[in-house]
Chains A and B, each alone.
Chain A
Amino acid sequence: MTEKRRRRSLRQTLTIVAATAGIGFIGLFGGLASQMAASRDPALGPKATAIQAHAYQPVQRRIIKRTVVVRKIHDPAPASAPAAAAAPVRATSPAPVVVQAPPAPAPAPAPVVTKVS
């Protein structure tokens, strides 16, 4: 094989090899990029997943339910009374506690009067 022929053959082979390597490179690049986009990259995948999980974590809310107790007090007045028709409905707090006053102190004993004649 002459030197000129050898060089031409080498150039042709080099073109084929370089083209094949280029196709391989594009395929690998695409595969690695799609792997990264899917958060499955060996180096960055776990970090990406952790960040996404943190970003989409639902906010925990505490719901406080307030219950209002409505107590209907039926007026003991006769039903015929007009006032009874519109029986007052009122939201009440617990019935007031009636604090009884302490019993009045006993009257002081009457003074002993002695009659001296």
Chain B
Amino acid sequence: MNGYNDPTQHLFWLASRSLGVVALVLMAASVTIGLFLSGRLIRRPGTPARLRTWHEAIALTATGAIAGHGLALLGDKFLHPSLRDIAVPFAMANQPAWTGIGIIAGWLAAIFTFSFYVRKWIGTKAWRWLHRWTLGAYVLAVAHTIGSGTDARSPWLLALVVLITAPIVFGATYRFLPAAPDPRARPAEARS
């Protein structure tokens, strides 16, 4: 064992990497449920209410994992970033662009998650508009994972990213594509 293959010397770095992957998976799950809810893909009575609870719980856990992903790096004696490096975009000397994108994605995810609790103050319309940008935060998170992630070239991580992004692509396509006209509505429209 030497300094390069002794895990005990890189505990914080390994913890940060693991939390980053956990955060990405949770974020993907939350975005998927959000898209399925807003796109009305699940219509069984009672299910949307239950899914909303899961959506909220997963988003909160994802935010915690994102915070842990950044804070764990503070203990890494090799990278040794400051609080400013992990909180301010593009401040870190190591891969500033990709880490900066990741920090922006983290802040956006936190803002979108906690905006739910200030919905009364900002208004439902503004909250809905804001919440729609969660998808953008996920895209930034994926870019950060592939751009600066240590395991970005590992087949297992690439497979995982594809696996968790596929339902999002499906949900977003379903949600944002213009809805086909309801065939049952035509005779009525024709009559009127």
Q: Which residues of A contact B (CB under 8 A)?
A: 1, 6, 9-10, 13-14, 16-18, 21, 24-25, 28-29, 32-34, 36-39, 41-45, 47-48, 51-52, 55
Contact = CB atoms under 8 A, between A and B. Distances in A.
12 contacts: A14-B57, A17-B26, A17-B54, A25-B18, A25-B22, A36-B7, A37-B5, A44-B5, A45-B5, A48-B4, A48-B5, A55-B2
Contacts of B6: 36-37
A28 B5 contact: no
B52 to A, nearest CB: 9
Interface stretch (B58-66, B80-88, B103-111, B136-144): B58-66
A33 B54 contact: no
Looking at chain B's contact residues, the main secondary structure is helix
Contacts of A47: 4
Contact of A10 (B19, B53, B152): B53
Nearest to B5: A48
Interface residues of B, number: 31
Given A14-B61, A17-B57, A34-B7, 8 more contacts: A21-B61, A25-B18, A29-B15, A33-B7, A37-B7, A42-B153, A48-B5, A52-B2
B15 A13 contact: no
Contacts of A10: 53, 56-57
Contacts of B53: 6, 9-10, 13
Nearest to B54: A13
A21 B65 contact: yes
Interface of B: 1-2, 4-7, 10, 14-15, 17-19, 21-22, 25-26, 49, 53-54, 56-58, 60-61, 64-65, 150-154
B58 A33 contact: no
A24 B25 contact: yes
Contacts of B61: 14, 17-18, 21
Nearest to B61: A17
Contact of A37 (B1, B57, B152): B1
A21 B5 contact: no
B151 A42 contact: yes
